[in-house]
């Protein structure tokens, strides 16, 4: 019997609806595989911010550090500025625990037609490897001359040799294991100063991984290729902001952002990693019980894989694939009428 200590942070909006679905699936698969979970649920959210003035307590990160992994729903809600919810919870977790790899796989499933004609079932199966702790998401910058004619905002992007190299080594290692090509998202025309540096480091790490065939594509053209020819990709490595945008685009190519999962990984295992759907708290549909739980359930599968249970993880993704391939049960975002609970029950039946 293996036991894992899991921090659950449902957060806000549909985060609180999809996380219980993921937990039910974990419990069910755990029973069959002799894996148990000790959960600790943290009500850290915008609601907490409105009551107590902070998204999490002062010792929040220390409390999370004791767990083997973190499963998060989503944070952000109207009435609380996004910079408060994000800098108060999500971003500090990614940074404090050095979760520098944000892994975002995408698949076009049988039975879930892509809105993109070129995306044929079974052929589109790739992963966006997003840099997750530096790049365009830096704390350096600010707003000046508020309300004056000379008002302006400045943002510094930070790319360090160490930070980019560790991410690239992870991405090239993944491409080696998957046996596919690696595509680097760039903007190397020299307009954006950071990108030629990124390109140099990609070439360096590419030389250190001779088995991997790699190339680079400008982010604008790459976005078009995601839509026109998504089957050609296997590992796509990108900076923080480019990876953020590409991963929602990839999710849309596969049918919708409700299905996309992510793993915020600290590959060395020195700190807990965090697993969360790619989507946000979706205030427009929150409270109705209709959110698509696939992104959260698939994220839980990625957590199991990370915790050393690849077989159990694959059973979860197989169950998602089977429900989509063999039943008409889908949530509304995918054209069905099932509630979150009904769809989750269908997954449990197919496990």
- Interacting residues toward ligand NAD by CB under 6 A: 14, 18, 74-76, 82, 90, 257-258, 276, 279-285, 291-292, 295, 333
Q: How far is the CB of 30 from ligand NAD (least distance, A)?
A: 23
Q: How far is the CB of 71 from ligand NAD (least distance, A)?
A: 12
Burial bucket for residue 92 (CB in 10 Å: 0-12, 13-18, 19+): middle
| Cβ distance to ligand IPM smaller for residue 114 or 132 | 132
Question: Measured between alpha carbons, how far is 47 from 171 in angstroms, rounded to an integer?
Answer: 37
Considering only 14, 64, 278, 320, the residue that binds ligand IPM (CB under 6 A) is 278
Q: Are 275 and 262 in contact (CB under 8 A)?
A: yes
User: What 3-state DSSP class applies to 13?
Assistant: coil
The torsion defined by the Cα of 264, 269, 168 and 94, in degrees rounded to 10, comes to 30
Residue found under tokens 């940074």: 95
- Smallest gap, in angstroms, from Cβ of residue 212 to ligand NAD? 30
Question: What is the DSSP pairing of strand 125-131 with strand 101-107?
Answer: antiparallel
Residue 105 interacting entry, from Mn ion, ligand IPM, ligand NAD, none, C-beta within 5 to 8 Å by type = none
The sign of the CA dihedral 233, 238, 240, 241 is negative
- Nearest partner of 336 among 277, 290, 286, 285, judged by Cα: 290
Residues between 53 and 72 that touch ligand IPM (CB under 6 A):
none
Q: Is 244 in the site for ligand IPM (CB under 6 A)?
A: yes
- DSSP label at 195? H
CB of 123 to ligand IPM, least distance (A): 25
Residue 133, contacted partner among Mn ion, ligand NAD, ligand IPM, none, CB below 5-8 A by kind: none
Question: Residues 49, 77, 137, 170: which is the catalytic one?
Answer: 137
Residue 229 annotated in active site: no
What number of residues does the chain have?
351
Residue 60 φ then ψ, to 5°: -55, -50
Single out the catalytic residue among 125, 244, 305, 333. Answer: 244
Active-site residue (options: 77, 125, 187, 305) = 187
Binding of residue 46 to ligand IPM (CB under 6 A)? no
Could you give phi then psi for residue 153, rounded to 5 degrees?
-130, 140
Find which of ligand NAD, Mn ion, ligand IPM, none residue 270 binds, CB within 5 to 8 Å per kind: none
Q: How far is the CB of 86 from ligand IPM (least distance, A)?
A: 5
Binding site for ligand IPM (CB under 6 A): 86, 90, 244, 278, 280
Catalytic residues: 137, 187, 220, 244, 248
């Amino acid at each position: 019997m293996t036991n894992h200590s899991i921090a659950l942070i449902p957060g806000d909006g549909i985060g609180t609806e999809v996380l219980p679905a993921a937990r039910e699936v974990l419990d069910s698969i755990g029973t069959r595989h002799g894996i148990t979970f000790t959960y600790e649920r943290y009500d850290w959210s915008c609601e907490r911010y409105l009551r107590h003035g902070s998204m999490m307590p002062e010792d929040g990160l220390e409390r999370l550090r004791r767990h083997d992994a973190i499963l998060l729903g989503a944070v952000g809600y109207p009435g609380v500025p996004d910079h408060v919810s994000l800098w108060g919870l999500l971003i500090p977790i990614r940074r404090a625990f050095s979760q520098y790899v944000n892994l975002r796989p995408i698949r076009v499933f049988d039975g879930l037609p892509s809105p993109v004609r070129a995306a044929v079932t079974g052929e589109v199966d790739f992963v966006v490897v997003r840099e997750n702790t530096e790049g365009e998401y830096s704390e350096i910058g600010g707003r000046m001359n508020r309300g004056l004619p000379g008002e302006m905002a400045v943002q510094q992007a930070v790319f360090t040799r160490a930070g980019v190299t560790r991410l690239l080594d992870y991405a090239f290692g993944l491409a080696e294991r998957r046996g596919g090509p690696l595509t680097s998202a760039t903007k190397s025309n020299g307009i954006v100063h950071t990108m030629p540096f990124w390109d140099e480091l990609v070439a360096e790490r590419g030389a250190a991984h001779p088995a991997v065939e790699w190339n680079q594509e400008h982010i604008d053209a790459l976005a078009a290729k995601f839509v026109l020819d998504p089957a050609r990709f296997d590992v796509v490595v990108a900076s923080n902001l480019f990876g953020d945008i590409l991963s929602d685009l990839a999710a849309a190519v596969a049918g919708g952002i409700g299905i996309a999962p992510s793993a915020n990984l600290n590959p060395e295992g020195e700190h807990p990693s965090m697993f969360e759907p790619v989507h946000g708290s979706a205030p427009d549909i929150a409270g109705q019980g209709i959110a698509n739980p696939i992104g959260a359930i698939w994220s839980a599968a990625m957590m199991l894989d990370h915790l050393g249970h690849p077989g159990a993880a694959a059973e979860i993704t197989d169950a998602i694939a089977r429900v989509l391939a063999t039943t008409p049960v889908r949530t509304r975002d995918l054209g069905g009428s099932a509630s979150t609970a009904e769809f989750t029950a269908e997954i449990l039946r197919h496990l």
